[in-house]
Amino acid sequence: MLGSSSYSSEEDRDHDRSWPLLDLPPLPQQPPLRLLDYQRLLISSGGNTTSINTSITTAVVTVASSSVVLSSTPPTLLSTSPQSSVIHPRQLLVTCAELISRSDYLSANRLLSLISTDFSLQSGDSTERLVYYFCKALRERLNRHLLSTTTCVINNPNIITLLPHQRPIFPSPQIIPRRPSRDVTTRYSSYLSLNQVTPFIRFTHLTANQAILEAVEGYPSIHILDMDIMHGVQWPPLLQAIMERSSTLGRPSPTICITGASYDPNLLDRTGDRLRRFAESLGLEFEFCHLVLDNSQLLDHSEAVTHALLDHRLRFRFDQVEEALAINCGDYLHCLLREYDTRSLRRFLYKVKTLNPRVLTLGEREADHNHPLFLRRFVEALDHYGAVFDSLEATLPPQSQERLAVEDSWFGEEIKDVVGEEGEQRKQRHQRFESWEMVLHSSGFKSLPLSPFSLSQAKLLLRLHYPSEGYQLQVVKRNCLLLGWKNRPLYSVSSWQ
C-alpha cells in the first residue's frame, strides 16, 4: 500500500528515523573514497526604498559638475548636508535606478557613466565588483530604452553635448541587437565552481536529501525526479546513505531510478553515465532516465514540463505500488513564474500533485526579485547580491579565479536578468519563503516538519568547509531552513507532501 512502511517492528522504524544523511564525515577528513571517485569522474568528463528624497536625487544627478567626494566606505545614510558630501556607490546606483524608473534616461546615462568610471572594477573588492555587475545590467536596460526611442534621442541636442564616455552605447536605428545567450557549457562549468566555493548549493542538496531519505524509508523501489539535475552532484551522497542504511539494517537495497531534467541532452548523457558508474560501485540496482526540456518553448515552459511528467518516462513506473516518488525542485520553481501570472506555476504544481509524491523538496533564493516595480526589485537585488559578494570576499582569497568565474558566469548573469530584463524576457523571479508557502498550500500541499538532522548537518557543513562567522542558519516555522549571511537570509529549503 502506497505510503505504508515495510518495517517488521516498531524498533526498526525508530532505528531508521534516527539515521542521518551521511554527506559529511564526523571529522574534518577527506570524504569517502566513493565520493572522491565520483568527483574525479565529474572532473575528467569536462565537467523598500520606494521613495528617495528629491533633493538627494538632484544633488547626485549634478555630481559630475560638483565637488562631491565619492567614497567606497559605506555610510549608513546618504548625507547632503554642507558638512558631509560623501556619497556611497550604493546610493548612486539606487538613484540611477530611480532615474530610469522615472524615464529620465539622459540623467541616468550621465550618472551611470560616472559610477562606471569611479567605482566599477571586476577585479576589485566586493563593493567594486558588485558595482561592476550592476552597472552592466543598468547599461543594458538603459540602452534598450534608448534604442526604443533612437530617432528622438539622436535628434536631441542634449546627447551631442555629452562627453564621449557619457554617451549611450547603441547602434543605428535599423539594428536592434539580440543579447547573446550565455554559453551553456560555461554556465554548467561555473556551477561546479559555485558548488565548491560557496555553501549555498551543498546546503540545499544536503537538506533536501535528508528529507528524501526519511520520506522514502522502507520502500523497495525509489524514483527521484530532479527538475534541474545539472551534473548530478546532489545524488551520490543520497545513494550512499540509502545503501549504508539498508546494509546496517540487514535489508536488501532498494532499486533506484533517477529521472533527470535538462535542456541539454548531452549533459544528461554524461550525468547519467557517471551516476550509473557510481551506483554500480555501491552495488545498487540503478536506472537513469532522460527528461529533455525544449528550450524553444520557454514561454510555455510549464506546459512542456507538465506534459513530460505524464508521458511514458514516468507512467511506466506507476503500476509499482511500492515505489516512492520524490520530486526535487532545487532553484527551479521560480522559472515558472510570469509577470502578474502564476497560472503556469499552479498548473505544474497541480500535475505534480496528481503524481502523489512522497515528498516535494523545494530550494529557492530568499529574495523578492519578482516584484513588478523595477526600483523596489532593484534595491532588493542590490541588498541580496551585496550579501552574496560579501560572503565570497570573506571566504576566498582576493584574486581567486574560481570566485571571479562564479561571479561572472553565475551571479553576474542573474543580476543582468533581474535588473536588465523586463517582461517575459526576465527569468530570475525569486520569491521569499512566505510567498512559496502560500502558493504550495493553495495548491493542496502540506509542509513537512524539518528533520533535526538537517540543522545539525548544515552546521557541520559550515564548520568544516566554510568556517566564517558570517554564515547563519535559521529555522522558520519548524518546516523551513534558511542559510544567510550576517542576518540576511539568502537561501531557503523546505519539503512538502
Q: Please report whether residue 481 resides in a domain.
A: no
pLDDT at 457 over 50: yes
The confidence score (pLDDT) of residue 409 equals: 87
Q: Please report whether residue 46 resides in a domain.
A: no
> Which of 200, 199, 215 shows the shortest CA–CA distance to 361?
215
The confidence score (pLDDT) of residue 246 equals: 94
Looking at 137, 166, 195, which one is the last position of a domain?
166
- State which of 107-116, 140-149, 163-172, 291-300 shows the largest mean pLDDT: 107-116
Residues 257 and 346 in one domain: yes
Q: What band does 306 get if pLDDT is binned at 50, 70 and 90?
A: low
pLDDT in tens, 196-211: 889 999 999 999 999 9
Residues 154 and 201 in one domain: no
Q: Please report whether residue 141 resides in a domain.
A: yes
Q: Please report whether residue 265 resides in a domain.
A: yes
Domain range for 60 is 54-166
Residues 273 and 214 in one domain: yes
pLDDT at 311 over 80: no
> Which of 294, 299, 293 shows the shortest CA–CA distance to 424?
299
Q: Would you list the DSSP string of 199-255?
A: SHHHHHHHHHHHHHHHHTTT-SEEEEEETT-TT-TTHHHHHHHHHHHHHHHT-PPPE
Residues 373 and 401 in one domain: yes
Residues 205 and 318 in one domain: yes
pLDDT at 494 over 90: yes
pLDDT at 35 over 80: no
Q: Would you list the DSSP string of 407-446?
A: IIIIIHHHHHHHHH--GGG-------HHHHHHHHHHTT--
Looking at 140, 166, 192, which one is the last position of a domain?
166
Q: Please report whether residue 479 resides in a domain.
A: no
Q: Please report whether residue 483 resides in a domain.
A: no
Residues 416 and 277 in one domain: yes
Residues 303 and 357 in one domain: yes
Q: Please report whether residue 38 resides in a domain.
A: no
The confidence score (pLDDT) of residue 95 equals: 95
Residue that has been written with the C-alpha cell 562549468 in this structure: 189
Q: What is the mean pLDDT of residues 440-447?
A: 94
Higher pLDDT, 260 or 294: 260
Q: Give Cα separations from 139 to 96, 174, 184, 291, 389 (angstroms).
A: 10, 20, 23, 37, 20
The confidence score (pLDDT) of residue 414 equals: 93
Q: What is the mean pLDDT of residues 18-33?
A: 39
Number of domains into which the chain is organized = 2
Q: Which SS3 state, helix, strand or coil, does residue 362 take? A: strand
pLDDT in tens, 382-396: 999 999 999 999 888
Residues 134 and 268 in one domain: no
Residues 216 and 344 in one domain: yes
Measured CA to CA, the distance from residue 79 to residue 332 in angstroms comes to: 41
Residues 16 and 140 in one domain: no
- The proportion of the chain whose per-residue pLDDT surpasses 70, expressed as a percent, equals 69
List, in sequence order, every residue forming a beta bridge with 481; answer none if it has no partner: 475, 493
Q: What CATH number does residue 212 fall under?
A: 3.40.50.150
Residues 124 and 195 in one domain: no
pLDDT at 155 over 60: no
Looking at 138, 166, 194, which one is the last position of a domain?
166
| pTM for the model | 0.78
Residues 287 and 249 in one domain: yes
> Which of 254, 308, 266, 356 shows the shortest CA–CA distance to 3?
356
Higher pLDDT, 76 or 396: 396
Least trusted range by pLDDT, from 83-92, 95-104, 248-257, 397-406 = 83-92
Q: What is the mean pLDDT of residues 420-441?
A: 89
Q: Please report whether residue 482 resides in a domain.
A: no
